[in-house]
């Protein structure tokens, strides 16, 4: 009874093993066909890549792609070896399963024989024990075959994943090939364009070399002339600067003298004012005395002597004449004082103008010196290109404020001349009046 149960278990295990083997066999055949197709496809792709490498890409990219192709060929070779190994394992499994089938048949015949005889001898029991051992061995072998089958299935899955990776790498290689082709085409187009530009540049260089040399010579002559003009202008400006400095010193000296004269005139004016006040007091005092005496005197008689008032009558007109003379001299001194004030203001204005002009000329000279230094430091070819852009000398642009100041200066000068003419006429009139008053005295 136990033997029949064990035999039934063994039969069911053998049937399951046979089904798994058939499934594994079918899967192996499918995978084998797919591997063969992929290997053939990769071989074709490798041939195409080799042809494309030999015809279209550069040496470095070709070497890189050849290395990739060698790696792919090596992996394909490994796939082929693994496929052969799997086929060999399949053959071994097939032989083992066939042996198990034979053993199963023999066990079945012997079991049927034992059932028919229904003998329970010791030898048969030993035989049953031996059969049980063989069945256990077969079960162990079945388990090992299952593990081997599972391992083979895992290896097939791994090979499938590696195959997919190779397909992806093949796609990337194809994409890289396309990019390399497009880059090569664009590089060829750029190269042709650069060659055309180089030809045009060489032709232009040949045609314009002599013209450029002539232009450089002309520009060198212009630069020499510019340097000479600059030196002359610099010397002229230095001479003008020295003259203006001397004029400035003279103006400062005249200003100091005018200031001293102004102070002296102020002092004399104060003295004249004091003298005029004294004379005015004396005149007022004499008038008061005269009026007082006229009130006290009686009309003269032939016997009485005349009153001594002629002296007073003579002194009063004299004092009035002296007062008038002093007033005229005061007016003359005031005119001269105003002239000196105007002269001092004009000298101050001229001094400020000269200082501004000197500062402006110094700035212009510094700019021209820096401009000439930059011009001389340039190379001849750069100088030929930039010569037309360089100004001969720097000029300060005119502004509206400067024009307005110039107009105001002209108007001020005109008014000053008219005022000076009027003062001259007034001064001449006062001098004539002083001379007349001096004659009267």
End-to-end CA distance of the chain: 189
| CA distance linking residue 376 with residue 250, whole number of Å | 40
pLDDT at 372: 76
Residue 161 sits at φ, ψ, to 5 deg, of: -65, -40
Using a 10 angstrom Cβ sphere, with 0-12 exposed, 13-18 middle and 19 or more buried, the burial of residue 340 is buried
Contact 250, 329 (CB under 8 A): no
**pLDDT one digit per residue (tens) for the chain, 441 residues:** 555 565 566 667 667 766 766 776 676 677 667 767 766 776 676 666 666 656 655 566 656 766 766 776 677 677 677 777 777 777 777 777 777 778 767 776 776 676 666 555 556 567 767 777 777 777 777 777 777 777 777 777 787 787 788 778 777 877 877 787 787 788 788 778 877 877 777 776 676 666 767 777 776 777 777 777 767 766 776 776 677 677 667 766 766 776 776 677 777 767 777 776 777 777 677 667 756 654 444 344 344 344 444 444 445 677 777 777 777 778 888 888 887 888 777 777 777 777 887 788 788 878 877 877 777 766 545 544 554 444 444 445 556 766 777 787 778 778 878 888 888 888 888 888 888 877 876
Q: What is the pLDDT of residues 1-37, one digit of tens each?
A: 555 565 566 667 667 766 766 776 676 677 667 767 7
Continuous segment of H or E residues that includes residue 123:
helix 122-296
Closest CA to 52 of 181, 141, 163, 145: 181
Q: How many residues does the chain have?
A: 441
What pLDDT sits at residue 240? 67
Q: Determine the Cα–Cα distance for residues 321 and 438; give it in Å rounded to an integer.
A: 9
CA–CA separation, 128 vs 135, rounded Å?
10
What tokens appear for 8 in the block? 């039934």
Global pTM?
A: 0.31
């Amino acid at each position: 009874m136990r033997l029949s149960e064990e035999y039934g278990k063994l039969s069911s295990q053998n049937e399951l093993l046979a089904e798994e083997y058939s499934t594994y066999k079918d899967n192996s055949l499918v995978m084998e066909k797919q591997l063969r197709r992929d290997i053939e496809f990769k071989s074709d792709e490798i041939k195409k890549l080799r042809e494309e490498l030999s015809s279209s890409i550069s040496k470095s990219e070709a070497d890189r792609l050849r290395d990739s192709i060698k790696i792919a060929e090596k992996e394909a070779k490994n796939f082929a070896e693994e496929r052969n190994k799997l086929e060999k394992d399949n053959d071994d499994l097939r032989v083992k399963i066939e042996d198990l089938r034979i053993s199963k048949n023999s066990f079945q015949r012997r079991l049927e024989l034992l059932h028919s005889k229904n003998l329970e001898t010791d030898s048969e029991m030993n035989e049953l024990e031996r059969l049980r051992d063989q069945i256990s061995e077969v079960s162990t072998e079945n388990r090992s075959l299952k593990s081997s089958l599972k391992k083979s299935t895992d290896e097939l899955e791994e090979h499938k994943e590696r195959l997919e990776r190779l397909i992806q790498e093949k796609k990337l290689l194809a994409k890289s090939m396309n990019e390399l082709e497009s880059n090569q085409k664009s590089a060829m187009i750029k190269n042709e364009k650069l060659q055309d530009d180089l030809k045009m540049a060489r032709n232009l260089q040949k045609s314009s070399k002599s013209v450029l040399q002539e232009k450089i010579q002309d520009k060198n002559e212009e630069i020499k002339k510019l340097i000479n003009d600059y030196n002359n202008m610099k010397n002229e400006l230095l001479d003008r600067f020295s003259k203006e400095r001397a004029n400035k010193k003279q103006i400062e000296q005249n200003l100091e003298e005018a200031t001293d004269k102004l102070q002296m005139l102020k002092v004399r004016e104060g003295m004249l004012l004091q003298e005029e006040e004294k004379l005015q007091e004396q005149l007022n005092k004499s008038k008061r005395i005269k009026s007082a005496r006229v009130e006290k005197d009686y009309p003269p008689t032939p016997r009485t002597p005349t009153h001594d008032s002629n002296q007073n009558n003579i002194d009063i007109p004299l004092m009035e004449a002296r007062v008038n003379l002093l007033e005229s001299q005061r007016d003359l001194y005031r005119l001269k004082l105003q002239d000196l004030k105007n002269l001092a203001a004009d000298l101050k204005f001229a001094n400020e103008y000269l200082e501004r002009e000197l500062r402006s000329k110094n700035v212009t000279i510094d700019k021209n010196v820096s401009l000439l230094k930059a011009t001389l430091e340039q190379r001849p070819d750069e100088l030929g290109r930039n010569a037309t852009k360089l100004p001969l000398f720097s000029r300060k642009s005119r502004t509206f404020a400067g024009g307005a100041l110039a107009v105001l200066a002209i108007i001020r000068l005109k008014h000053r001349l008219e005022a000076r003419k009027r003062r001259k006429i007034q001064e001449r009139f006062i001098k004539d009046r002083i001379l007349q008053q001096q004659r009267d005295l």
